[in-house]
Structure 1
Amino acid sequence: MPVPPDPWPDSRPQPGPPLARRAQLHRLAVRWAGNVVVVLYVGVALPGALVTPWVGMLVIAPAIGLLSALVAVLVEPKLFRDPARRHVVVHVAVAGFLLAPFTAGVAASGAVGGTALFVLVVLGTFVAGDRAFAWVGSPDAPDAPDVPDVAAVRAGLHTLPTARLLHDWETTERLLRSPRHAPVAAELRALLLDELGRREPEAVNRWLTDGGTSPAGYIGNDRDPAD
């Protein structure tokens, strides 16, 4: 008896381009916003240094820079222990050092300085929120989930209940926000997507067509793995 062709590989829409495009646009927006924040901050601070009293530049500014770096290390000790991430401490120290001349530059620039400050606050909040959200959802956070072993998941994937597959999909959502674990999360999602598509091709097809972020609302979680 001939085996009917598997409809899943040919009929499912490819989830990569829409989701990848959104993620790429988001990263691009964050990158450009961060560049604008740096340009505005430094662009106002440099002229502000000319009108800042010497006490502010030689005493207050270095003190703020050192304090900022110390706070960064206390909040995230890995920044100092990891050589690949120590540049973050330097950036924080420089930002703290420039705070005094930046304040003086805003005060001396009048309406232009006020506008620059407003734009900086709006874009800075966007960038800082993205960074904080990524850290909270990453495996570096205290309550972050463990990173699954891809080989173990691949070996036992067909025996897992559908509810576990849906749970693991939600777990990878957090892992994707960590640059360190995003490649592993993407590989896990590919495995989960293939297995979910094998079990529920029509439901997964509807989910991908609708562009949803989670398959939980489309797939029942009580299906036996052998079905």
Structure 2
Amino acid sequence: MTVSTVLVVGATGSIGREAMAAATEAGLAPRALVRDLGRAKRVLPADTDFAVGDITRADTLADAVREVDAIIFTHGSNAGDHQRVDYGAVANTFRALGRRRPRIALMSSIYVTRQGQGYGPVIDWKRRAEWLVRASGAPYTIVRPGWFDRVGSGDGRLVLEQGDTGDGGIGRDQLATVLVRSLLTDAAVGKTCELFARSGTASSDWAALFTPLDPDTGLDGAHDSARVPLDAEPAGVQRDMAAVRAVTE
């Protein structure tokens, strides 16, 4: 699949703005999904390709997803509305896409498999969003970043891990670059990884970075701990899963 036009969900956020810049630098044509056009024009370049829509409403997203080759999800709720935002944006985007399946880069989070350890509902909804992406049949890469900005000046070496047992920090620009480059790297397809920055020099060999990762199987990331059975999930989640799977059947 050739990737050219890329929709950035969460484009006015701190990661989204970096993803817009990284996509442009990579020679892609990024499109910014925004809810408030006036605010968006204050934080993004004047020549940005804007698409106005609300990620909590699938019926507003038709123009945003039209003729896109890929989608980068960088969104997140700042008000605790994780079901409607962290999860809902992904579910609504697939509703708007219908049967089309562009390439996906999803920003998730470390710790999403650590239920019952005091991290609250956000990790459950982020993990459910991951399940939707894996079940959709779209070519995808899921990146679980470490703690934002907990990096030093010499932390240029990117480390990709699996199994959600690691910890560490990552720069926002580093995360955005990995999300963009995953769309352009065949070895990244069908894989989930945690992302950290360690002391060392940055590499531009993206195939070498993604190739050692194991591909996902089923709804879980490679080496993840066992998930809650799907039939124990909320009814709305089960309906969404059935809907995205129906496209591939």
Provide the TM-score with structure 1 as the length reference. Answer: 0.21
**Higher Cα radius of gyration:** 1
In terms of fraction of residues, the more helix-rich structure is 1
Specify which structure has the bigger relative contact order, considering alpha-carbon pairs within 8 angstroms and separated by 6 or more residues: 1
In terms of fraction of residues, the more strand-rich structure is 2
